């Protein structure tokens, strides 16, 4: 039987142009074990991805702030505190950077994302003032509750599935995947990963983006079962 998976989205399931690699639509529905989509994206995005992949909705969203398992949703982060940070940041003359509609944050429940071309210093100061912390995913600065992480989320998922976290194989590319790498049995960083992810992963894959991820999935799918 295949190992259960924890897959990041951006930079891991995507190609360099940010599109989802279509090969996952054939590969993942046939995976003979749970597949957890773990991302910094707002909750609706991974839920929709699971729907279109036609796999069970096992989701860790917003860097562990929202977890969905067996049709049960758990919120772990203080979204109100993150929103207060965003308001204070804008009052200080800065912007979140996503334009008027701000589709990046529109559906976020437990955190706020700020575009990486915005000033980090004042954002970090405000986050600390409101008891929040910043995680840099390489795509945005995420203002979130301290202690909330993808790794915490996978512990919850594993418990609800009756699995041990050591059974899981995780693939990611960013600082926010470090906590996941610390609790799973096998961890891989794709070649385009940031340095924190590469240092935390057990193995750094030669391939980048979705090519690297798919190469590992094809390899571990061939591991003999115990």
Distances (CA, A) of 60 to 6, 157, 198: 9, 8, 21
Mark whether 8 is an active-site residue: yes
**CA–CA separation, 30 vs 25, rounded Å?**
9
Q: Are strands 72-75 and 141-145 parallel, antiparallel or unpaired?
A: unpaired
Distances (CA, A) of 32 to 8, 23, 157, 208: 19, 17, 17, 25
Asked if 199 and 34 touch (Cβ cutoff 8 Å), the reply is no
**Whose CA is closest to 40, among 104, 103, 98?**
104
Catalytic: which of 8, 78, 173, 177?
Answer: 8
Strands (E), 12-71: 35-38, 59-61, 66-69
Question: Angle at Cα 161 formed by Cα 136 and Cα 157, nearest 5°?
Answer: 15
Asked if 21 and 219 touch (Cβ cutoff 8 Å), the reply is no
Task: Kindly list the catalytic residues.
Answer: 8
């Amino acid at each position: 039987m295949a190992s259960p998976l924890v897959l990041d989205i951006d930079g891991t399931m995507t190609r360099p142009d940010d599109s989802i690699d279509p090969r996952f639509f054939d590969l993942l529905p046939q995976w003979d074990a749970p597949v957890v989509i773990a991302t910094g994206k707002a909750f609706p995005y991974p839920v929709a991805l699971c729907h279109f992949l036609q796999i069970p909705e096992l989701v860790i969203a917003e860097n562990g702030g929202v977890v969905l398992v067996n049709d049960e949703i758990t919120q772990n982060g203080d979204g109100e505190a993150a929103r207060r940070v965003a308001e204070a940041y804008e009052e200080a003359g800065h912007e979140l950077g996503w334009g008027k509609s701000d589709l990046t944050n529109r559906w976020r429940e437990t955190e706020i994302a700020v575009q990486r071309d915005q000033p980090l210093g004042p954002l970090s100061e405000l986050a600390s003032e409101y008891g929040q912390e910043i995680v840099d995913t390489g795509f945005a600065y995420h203002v979130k509750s301290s202690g909330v992480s993808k790794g915490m989320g996978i512990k919850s998922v594993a418990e609800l599935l009756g699995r041990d976290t050591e059974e899981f194989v995780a693939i990611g590319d960013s600082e926010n995947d470090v906590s996941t790498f610390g609790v799973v049995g096998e961890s891989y960083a794709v070649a385009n990963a940031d340095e924190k992810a590469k240092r935390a992963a057990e193995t750094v894959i030669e391939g980048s983006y979705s090519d690297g991820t798919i190469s590992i999935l094809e390899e571990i799918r061939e591991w003999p079962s115990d």
